[in-house]
């Protein structure tokens, strides 16, 4: 049987934007079914996601981050490593690990951009909830 609890891992970097994904997730999955874990940034998500998935307690692990150019490195490097790591975590454990990790080409620390991405993260959180619920139903049907 597929567990009905979910782990939600979120990066603290740009938390004012990233946390909106959890708001969107809660629109479809009750908060009492979700364990929330904070990590410093996107790069730390795959390892914790794998560890959480390996516990067998969760029907899915959702990982949310906002990866933008930091001036020191190109965000594409981090984004690719994160997405590859999340996919590997799911494949290695057999538990869905879903990414709500966005990597915009253009982001500026303006209120206009923050509003746009906050709204987008709410939608992506809802989409992650739909995906987690759908995968759970499909896996339960396969097991029956």
Report the CATH superfamily, name and number, of domain 6-138: Lumazine/riboflavin synthase (3.40.50.960)
The model scores a pTM over 0.85? yes
What are the boundaries of each domain within the chain? Answer: 6-138
95 in a known ligand binding site: no
Task: Give the mean pLDDT per block of 10 residues along the chain (144 residues).
Answer: 85 92 97 97 94 97 84 67 92 96 69 84 96 94 89
By C-alpha distance, which of 93, 25, 102 is closest to 65? Answer: 102
44 in a known ligand binding site: yes
Helices (H) and strands (E) in the chain, counts: 4, 4
Q: Please compute Rg for the chain using Cα positions.
A: 15
Catalytic residues: 74
99 in a known ligand binding site: yes
37 in a known ligand binding site: no
């Amino acid at each position: 049987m597929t567990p009905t609890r979910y782990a939600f891992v979120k990066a603290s970097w740009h938390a004012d934007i990233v946390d909106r994904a959890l708001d969107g997730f809660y629109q479809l999955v009750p908060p009492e079914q979700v364990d929330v874990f904070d990590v410093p940034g996107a790069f730390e998500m795959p390892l914790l996601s794998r560890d959480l998935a390996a516990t067998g307690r969760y029907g899915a692990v959702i990982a949310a981050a906002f990866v933008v150019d930091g001036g020191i490195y190109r965000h594409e490097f981090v984004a690719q490593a994160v997405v590859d790591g999340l996919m590997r975590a799911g494949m290695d454990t057999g538990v869905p690990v879903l990414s709500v990790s966005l990597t915009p080409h253009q982001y500026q620390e303006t209120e206009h951009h923050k509003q746009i991405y906050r709204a987008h993260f709410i939608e992506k959180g809802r989409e992650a909830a739909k995906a987690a619920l759908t995968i759970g139903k499909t896996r339960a049907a396969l097991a029956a």
